[in-house]
Structure 1
Amino acid sequence: MAYLLLVLCTLIGWSQAFLPSPSLEVEGLTHADITEEALLAVAMDACREEAQNEGRTFNPPALLNPESLLRACLGVSEEADLSGSKFRELLNEIISENIFIDRDQPFSSAHHFNDEVIERGRDIITQGVSIVRASLRQDNLQAARRALGAVTHTLQDFYSHSNWFELGNLDPYPNLLRPDLPLQNLADANTPTCNDCQEKVCPNVILPEILSTNTLTSGYLSFTPQGKCNHGDSIMGGINKDFGGGGLTSDGTDPHLAAFAVAAEATKDLLQNIRIAFGNTVFLRMLGITRSTVLCFVIDTTASMTDDVAEVRRLTTKIIDETRGTPNEPSLYILVEFNDPEVGPVTSTTDPEEMKRVVNALTVSGGGDIPELSLSGIRLALTTAPPSSDIFVFTDAPPKDTELLDTVISLVESTRSKVTSLLTNALNRRRTRRSALTNPTNSVYQQLAQLSGGQVIEVTKNTLPLATAVIEDSITSSMVTVLQVESTRPDTFSFLLDPRLQNVTLYITGLSINFTLQNPAGVAQNDTAGSGPLASVFPVGNLYRVSLNEGNLTGRWQITIRSPQAYSLRVTGRSALNFMSQFVEVFDGPHPGFAPIAARPPAGQNATLLITVTGVDMLFGVEVGLVSADGELLRNTSVTRLREGTYLARVLHLPDVPFTLLLMGQEADGRPFQRQSSTQIQASQITVQVQRTVVLAPGESITVPFTVETRGIEGAINISARDDQGFVTAVNNRLNVGAAGNATGLVSLSVPTGTPSGTTSVVTIDAESSATRQSNFALLRVSVIQRDIDVTPPVCRVLNESLDCPVPCGNATWEVTLLMSDGNGTGLRDPHISITIPDTPINETSTAIIDQVKDENGYNATLLTYRASCCVTNVEISAVDNEGNVGRCDFSIRRPSTTGPPQTTISSTTSHPTTSRPSSNISPTAPSNGPRLTVSLWTTLLLLALTALML
């Protein structure tokens, strides 16, 4: 049972990243399950609509999971070179933020709808939705994902922690997403709501008069006043429906599953509102359902960079032209400029032609002294690009702003992005010191490359075009690392290539390099430039790029490298088979479990890794090892399979030196494989803790406490706090840690007046011991939101309709005229029309005529006349205002009841009804068709297994 329950809490996606403790004897589905079910379902709606708008067929996957949905959405085959890792990673980001509410706000009544603070709970939802909308308007997709994950937790808790289900409701309460409507029939402090219950199971605990009057209440968690409802826990019964295994209702309904179903529908309603308000393209980009390649350049525009800028222009045009229309076409283009003393602007666009225009408009000027503000540019790229991006830096100067190095390192570790620097300041002479670089001023770039799994390539201005092939190699969604090492001595390295790998390339950086490559059959080739029996060798600057010949590469290869100086080796290829990893920690509270560790894990302590493997159905003999930078195995792990593709790896005593993770195993056909993580992991004896988010309005200030804890370290801890918007105004720059092992500091933030709503800032708090140089960091995210916002959705009225349709539909049409108005609100955006045409040609006739008019009160309004074929059986028409509030237009096709199918309702699935469909009253009667529940095959199978064990 315990194993099954653990699996139940690790369904597809980031539900694998929030794991209740294996010894925790609880039953039931989780927030992670609810959130992922809703995300995948609404994403599929968006993908279907996009396909229809583009005139192509959408084939929904038979088994709904992130990988299958991504392929269906992009319209690519199973054989296509496409990885689902980025989509999984961004789903994980949303779902993990949902999970953090249980860890970070365990006793906040409002965040969990406990203690009858239902209005305050809705305020949390309203604020969270406002952050999502404002962030999307500013194209801050990461901030939107994080706010979305947090708000879904509170929304879902309403259906478990209140008596909504006990009042007979199996549909969502739309007023939770309508702050302009009252929450009616709320129990006040003096109203008794429950019988006293001290047992584990309390049947009929809610008072009959509460049920008969449709009064809404919720349970009390820490202290239950007399006459009120308990929340309930493992000892005492209550009204929460968090876990399964409790009693069934008189009609055989499991309250836990019913709460799960309605919470899932409510989450879908929220997601549909966001999708309608911002469109399918933005919604799918937020989720990561796009071609996952990102082209990100950070470029020095000082006067000496004329040749480099010309190469960036050529390379950008070449990549855009050659990848257009392919699975490897970048979905996002980012360009960060840095000069002296200015940094920026930052261009972030999905339009390749705009990227061309911006790059072609680059000019060079200024500079003066040699060092430049390159770390400021890299920091901007790390906070702009999605996680796990490849960032390419072009400069001919060392960094001037080295005080930002700790901040940049923290951002690299938290985003797991690679930083590769193409440097045109190579020295002609070969240095005798043990370095892979000719120019010692480039050591900071080398440090970032080693940490992130990137490279430092030193070339001349003339040879730069030969080195940029490294960038072209990386323009793929399926780049994987097979092996990477850093060494200071001659050595032989082996690596395993599996049949899935394509475009295998070795990158060797260093000076005075000689190498011999040998394939599994014993055929050898040396470092001579040009084509050979095994590979084509391209030397340029301090880089050897070795591209293996196509053919049978399967088996164990060897490379012997001889050099008197330091060098690095990186073996990469393209494959859908990859893995993600995350250290997780146990947290306590009313709903204890596992949560990801956002910073460095604890050195010298036992730790747990969550491993997610993508692109493969079944694996055997999975092993995970901790490997030092020079390739030495530091630790083996104890690996437990949770389900296919999901594993827990337990580590004894984390080493205090940097390491990466090496994953090995066998596929179902017995063929072995290996993959290595790119970003180095550094454990630490220091921990920095700070609240995860702060919400401020323009002109507001706040002081936020943070705590530094140490293990075996006393004395001075140096503190720095920086952010990318300049919100940090002060911080305790030194704390003294005594025998107790902790100290508290303060960071002050101030948002300037006039800062646009939706602006976000990432504050990095770094702590370093003066004595041991041990360090760690924490990230505090600031969201800027206007306090007074329009929360009233537009209204939509049917003025004229001709909705009678014959059977069969033939050549007949139906027509409706709608008046859409936002009154004195922020004003209407364009009406949104969503057409779903099952089993009919995509070119079924439909027309829309839009006129701008005044309503009866003199406000601006939109008059929409829509005509469609009677064969069009599902149309959603919504009005969206400039704040992102969504109003729905409801009407129905009428078919002859004696000869045709039942009446077809044409309406939106959004939970924002118009005034023609008020939903402010609590309904005591459940719909006769039962709860709406959309579940994946995994969930269905596991629910059946749980039911069988309960019988």
Structure 2
Amino acid sequence: MGYPLLFFCSLIGWSLAFLPSLSPDMQSVTHTDITMEALLEVASSACRDEAQAKGQNYKEPALLTAQSLLLACLGVSEDAGLSSSKLIEVLEEIISENTNIDNDLGGSPAHHFNDEVFEQGREIITQGVSVIRASLQQDDLQAARRALGAVTHTLQDFYSHSNWIELGNQDPYQKLLRPDLQFDNLADANTPTCNDCQDRECPNVILPEILSRNTLTSGYVRPTPQGKCNHGDNTIGGINKDVGGGNVAPGAIDPHIAAHVVATEATKNLLQDIRTAFGSATFLRLLGITRSSVVCFVIDTTGSMTDDIAHVRTLTADMINSKTGTPDEPSLYILVEFNDPDVKQPVSTTDPEEMIRMVNNIRVAGGGDPPEYSLTGIQYALLTAPPSSNIFVFTDAPAKDVELESTVKSLAQSTQSKISFLLTNGPSISSRRRRRSVVSNPSNNLYQQLAQLSGGQAIEVSKATISQATSIIQDSVTSSQVTLLQIDSTGPDTLSFIVDPRVQSVILYITGLSVEFSLQNPSGVSQESTVESGPLASVSAVGNLFTVRLNEGNQTGRWLITVRSSQAYSLRVKGRSTLDFMSRFVEEFGGPHPGFAEISARPPAGQNAILRLTVTGVDMLFEVKLSLVSANGELLRNTSVTRLRQGTYLARVPPLPEVPFILLLTGEEADGQLFQRQSTTQIQASQLTVQVQKVVILVPGQSIAVPFTVEARGIEGALDIQAQDDQRFVRTFNTSLHVSNVTDNATGWLGLTVPTGTPPGTSSVVTLEAESTATRQSNFALLRVSVIQAVIDFTPPVCRVVNESLDCPTQCGNATWEVTLLMTDGNGTGLQAPRISITLPDTTYNESTVSITEVTDENGYNATLLTYTASCCVTNVDISAVDKEGNVGRCDFSIRRPSTAAPPQTTLTSPTTARPTSNTISTTPSNSPRLPVPLWTTLLLLALTALRF
């Protein structure tokens, strides 16, 4: 299937890891294009198979985009109002990890298959695939996505940076994903491979004897050793195929396009292996193809919470019953229970009935003193829930673990998740003393700050009325909730917000201790807050929360709300719409493959900055403007917005303010209708920057020391350092550093230990924070630790055909064919039973039967005997075996018709399955050797990181 380059480039702009240029060169293909094409195509196949398994039809979109794929996969129409923003956010996460390799590890030859380090490059792929498999076995989708993005970059670079294409190969190199097989015909250090060429164009630079001997080589990023190949860049030619449009002979294929085609096929093979090993349903969850948002509850289970949890049980059942079978059905449920001193690890499920059982099984006990470990529970939720999730905290006590405050704030900013609190610890203080807070109990001030920072709400209610406030949770369980306006103010205001035709179900949430307001629609009709059911809205009040639901009908235009309050209040205007936007700060980087890298921490204060914007749900916008506004709505900065591709923009920001800000996007649609959207998470720039490598891969029992550096711009003196992680892998770290006007940066060390017995697939996020003792400014960096086994079986299962009846008549009619296969994993980890994947094509004649028998082969190994019978109208079936390590082996075969001249075969490769696979099942049993995973990659990462300092 062909895909327009326009869409792929539009997803995250030009992430030019495949191109050594920042120009939007439409003749060249990027890592973004390759990865996105593969992701969408394999996802579409998975959607088809899931639909067939349920007896449903799947109509593949004519134009495969994130939005069209989501609607087709979920079987809903455009009218359902299903937003693709969550899906695009996941795809961006995968692709950002891919393109960031050029910035984070641009000097590592192995990560790009430069300098002829093929063994080391394959080790990086092998480790990454091991992380993906182990993470999926633990249902850690976040860790699997990050590893997938990084692995695909290195895998794709092989085809551009080596001479694989020049050797005449048109298919992926199977051995890149098979570390149990030996490389052959590699150029050694003394083998001349290229002519010396210092020109911009270097045709026929590879020596003829290298090509004739089928010797594999790759280019060197300068300096290039004598007789070796240049990698090439903007000034000198080489063998890289990163850019298209060069001098190509008439009728010849551009090597760049050839590399793109094979790299895309290799990426699809990797994705297909993952899909086969873990099933289509898990694969689609990995890619974020789900109906709705995540429901995440963080619940205080101390003795005083009995009444509250009873309401949570009722809420859970009501929500599940009302959402099941609708586009708003939650895609994942997460539960975190905290007590004193115990905090349980998060549990999650995609099964709504299981969620009901989990909540019903909560038992309250203990407590003692009022403060509880609520921040630990929130930290666990932020590390478990996907980005941009809604997290709801139920408690009647203040936080005991206040030392985690900065960690929780850092994670909230990084994940852009909203944290809302339902608090039942009773109001009891003079409103005059609570002027600057929307909560009455001073012990809830920290919760209010976290809610304000993340875009959530701090709602105080009594235990008797908590059920009246939980409607906010049901309103949030949707994939298409957007924010039109968000204000945190300390005095009276008259505010405006625009409701465009794409917005439905508009709700205003106002929290405060003493609030009155009046609402006016675009026609000038007004309604006071004292009117519960009026011409504009229905108004309800409970505790410190007002909920205002606009009446259905013509809501389009500019609305006004006048808030009369002498105390602090917060206003959130929400709606449902597919028109939404996402934003990330990025920085430009140079080198052989320049591009944009995401800034995951706080951006630099007082400096120019760049924001990458992705707008969903609309094809064309005009007069797009992005503004930085303060929490109370004051305009702080305007930006210069440039459209890169459809739906993708760059906003260049003048020096960032030092006060917190949020983003306001405005513009016009094609019909001239105005719209506005706001981000939710407050952004705080900083004069500090913390740098540490992003990923460490360790095995149980291993310890490692990781360097980090803190850069301070215009700040002198002591820096307090904190390091927190959810698995307690952090053992030691420098608790303080010092910077001066002579040395504006300082280096420290972080010691990590993975305890023996830690399950493979365990991941941990280390939050490393630095704070200036003089200015109290702070910043953070995240280091992610993935645990894999020390010894891993990399060999796929094997099989042989033991019986077959594959002859079919021309008229398929009532005829059938049959094949019997013997599958075994030798002395490896063994087959997953009955992990046999059978993919049927779209046909009305798809009747089939499967018989599986566990047997022992002639070598004494456990084996599976599979007999498959299908209609002769079914012409293509993929039968796969998966072992317990996730290695995939396939049996490809084809039926025979009278028009086919080919003689009978005992083991057949289907001509309808054109792509070769890296794990094609052989006809002889395997001893399935287990290979130790080298720590070369980890050591290289540490060395490169140290060099940066």
Alignment partner of 1:763: what SS? strand
Is 2:716–2:739's contact at 8 Å kept on the other side of the alignment?
yes
What does residue 351 of structure 1 align with? 351
Partner in structure 2 of residue 106 of structure 1? 106
CA offsets, 1:661-717, max 9 Å, x none?
A: 111111111111110001111111111010000011000011111110111111111
1:834 equivalenced with 2:838 (yes/no)? yes
Contact kept? 1:508, 1:545, Cα under 8 Å: yes
Structure 1 equivalent of residue 906 of structure 2: none
Structure 1 segment 347-496 matched on structure 2, within 5 A: 347-433=347-433, 434=435, 435-496=437-498
Aligned to 2:599: 597
C-alpha displacement at 1:431, in angstroms? 2.3
1:911-930 to structure 2, matched below 5 A, reads 911-916=918-923
CA-CA distance at 1:571 after TM superposition: 0.3
For residue 12 of structure 1, report the CA deviation from its aligned partner: 3.6
Quick one: which amino acid aligns to residue 158 of structure 1?
F
Q: Classify 1:880/1:322 alpha carbon distance in 2 versus 1 (closer, same or farther; 3 Å).
A: same
Q: What does residue 12 of structure 2 align with?
A: 14
User: What corresponds to 1:145 in structure 2?
Assistant: 145
Q: Which residue of 1 aligns with 2:938?
A: none
Q: How does 1:96-175 map to 2 (within 5 A)?
A: 96-175=96-175
C-alpha displacement of 1:13? 2.3
Report deviation, 1:81: 2.2
Q: Which of the numbers 769, 785, 788 marks the counterpart of 2:791?
A: 788
Q: 1:586 to 1:599 in 2, by over 3 A?
A: same
- Kindly provide the CA deviation profile for residues 386-440 of structure 1, in whole angstroms up to 9, marking residues without a partner as x: 1100000000000000000111001000100000000001214542121211101
Contact preservation (8 Å) 2:376, 2:401: yes
Partner of 1:886: 888
Please give the secondary structure, in 1, of the residue aligned with 2:419.
strand
Residue 354 of structure 1: how far off its partner (Å): 0.9
Which residue identity lines up with residue 856 of structure 1 in the other structure? E
The whole-number CA distance in structure 1 between the counterparts of 2:221 and 2:6 is: 25
**d(CA) in 2 for partners of 1:912 and 1:365?**
53
Question: Whole-Å Cα distance in 2 between the matches of residues 689 and 392 of structure 1?
Answer: 32
From 523, 537, 540, the counterpart of 1:538 = 540
- Aligned counterparts of 1:251 and 1:666: Cα–Cα separation in 2: 46
User: How far did residue 644 of structure 1 move?
Assistant: 2.0
Specify every segment of 5 or more residues in structure 1 that has no aligned partner in the other structure, as ranges.
1-6, 920-951
Q: How much has 1:907 moved relative to structure 2? A: 8.3
Q: Deviation digits for residues 229-276 of structure 1, max 9, x if unmatched?
A: 111112221111111132325741100010011000000000000000
2:779 counterpart of 1:772: no
> 2:89 is matched with which residue?
89
Q: Which amino acid aligns with 1:573?
A: G
Distance 1:221 1:746 in 2: 30
Q: Is the 8 A contact 1:807 1:899 kept in 2?
A: no
Are 1:33 and 2:33 matched, yes or no? yes
Aligned-partner Cα distance in 2 for 1:14–1:514: 43
C-alpha displacement of 1:346: 1.8
Alignment correspondent of 2:247? 247
1:860 aligns with 2:858: no
Whole-angstrom distance in 1 between the partners of 2:480 and 2:609: 29
**Cα distance in 1 for residues equivalent to 2:571 and 2:252:** 62
Q: CA deviation at 1:831?
A: 3.8
Q: Is contact 2:719-2:771 (8 Å) kept?
A: yes
TM-score between the two structures when normalised by the length of structure 1: 0.94
1:902-913 matches, within 5 Å, as 904-905=911-912, 910-913=917-920
What do the CA deviations read for 1:420-475 (whole angstroms, capped 9, x no partner)? Answer: 00000121454212121110100111011111100000011001010101111111
Q: CA deviation at 1:223?
A: 2.5
Shift of 1:192: 1.6
1:898 CA drift (Å): 7.0
Task: Indicate the SS of the match to 1:158.
Answer: helix
Corresponding letter in the other structure for 1:747: L
Local SS of the residue matching 2:100: helix
Say which SS state the counterpart of residue 42 (structure 1) adopts: helix
Matching of residue 238 in structure 1 with residue 241 in structure 2 = no
**Residue of structure 1 equivalent to 2:879:** 877
In the alignment, structure 1 residue 723 sits paired with structure 2 residue 721: no
Q: 1:578 to 1:18 in 2, by over 3 A?
A: farther
* Aligned-partner residue type, residue 763 of structure 2: T
- Tell me, in whole angstroms, the C-alpha distance in 1 between the residues paired with 2:794 and 2:268: 19
Task: Kindly indicate whether the alpha-carbon contact (under 8 Å) linking 2:510 and 2:571 is maintained by their aligned counterparts in 1.
Answer: yes
CA RMSD, Structure 1 to Structure 2 (Å): 1.9
Provide TM-score, normalisation by structure 2: 0.94
Distance 1:903 1:86 in 2: 38
Distance 1:18 1:505, change over 3 A: farther
Change in CA separation of 1:23 and 1:473 when aligned onto 2, cut-off 3 Å? closer
Alignment partner of 1:661 is 2:663: yes
SS in 2 for 1:893: coil
> Partner of 1:326 in structure 2?
326
Residues in 2 aligned to 1:22 and 1:572: alpha-carbon distance in whole angstroms = 41
Indicate conservation of the 8 Å contact 1:18/1:595, yes or no. no
Aligned twin of 2:749? 746
Asked whether the equivalents of residues 798 and 925 of structure 2 are also in contact (C-alpha less than 8 Å), the reply is no
Secondary structure of 1:586's aligned partner: strand
Instruction: Tell me what 2:279 maps to.
Output: 279
The CA deviation at 1:200 is 1.5
Partner Cα distance (1:746, 1:28) in 2: 42
Alpha-carbon distance between aligned partners in 1 of 2:238 and 2:6, rounded to the nearest angstrom: 23
Distance (whole Å) between structure 2 residues aligned to residue 908 and residue 354 of structure 1? 40
Q: Distance in 1 between matches of 2:208 and 2:270?
A: 32
**Matched AA of 1:794:** P
Q: 2:694 aligns with which of 692, 695, 698?
A: 692
- Once residues 652 and 601 of structure 2 are traced to their aligned partners in structure 1, the CA distance between those partners, rounded to angstroms, is 18
1:265 and 1:25 mapped to 2: Cα distance?
24
Take 1:907 and 1:621, find their aligned partners in 2: how far apart are those partners?
Answer: 47
Deviations 1:808-856 (A, max 9, x none): 2111111000010000000001242332323x21x62100000000011
After the TM superposition, which of the residue ranges 252-261 and 16-25 deviates more from structure 2? Answer: 16-25
1:202 aligns with 2:209: no
Counterpart Cα distance in 1 of 2:593 and 2:925: 35
CA distance in 2, matches of 1:742, 1:9: 41
Aligned to 1:512: 514
Determine if contact 1:193/1:207 at 8 Å carries over to the other structure. yes
C-alpha distance after superposition, 1:532-589 (max 9, x if no partner): 1111111000000111111110010000011111001110000111000111101122
User: Structure 2: which 5+ runs fail to align?
Assistant: 903-908, 927-949
- 1:338 corresponds in structure 2 to 338
Distance 1:812 1:352 in 2: 43
1:614 corresponds to 2:616: yes
Kept in 1, the 8 Å contact 2:20–2:593? The answer is: no
Q: Which amino acid aligns with 2:537?
A: A
CA contact under 8 A between 2:12 and 2:614: conserved in structure 1?
no
Change (3 A) 1:273 1:73: same
Contact 1:453 1:679 in 2 (8 A): yes
Q: Aligned partners of 1:25 and 1:899: how far apart in 2?
A: 50
CA contact (8 A) 2:876 2:894 kept: no
> Identity across aligned pairs (percent)?
68
Aligned to 2:78: 78
- CA apart distance, 1:367: 0.3
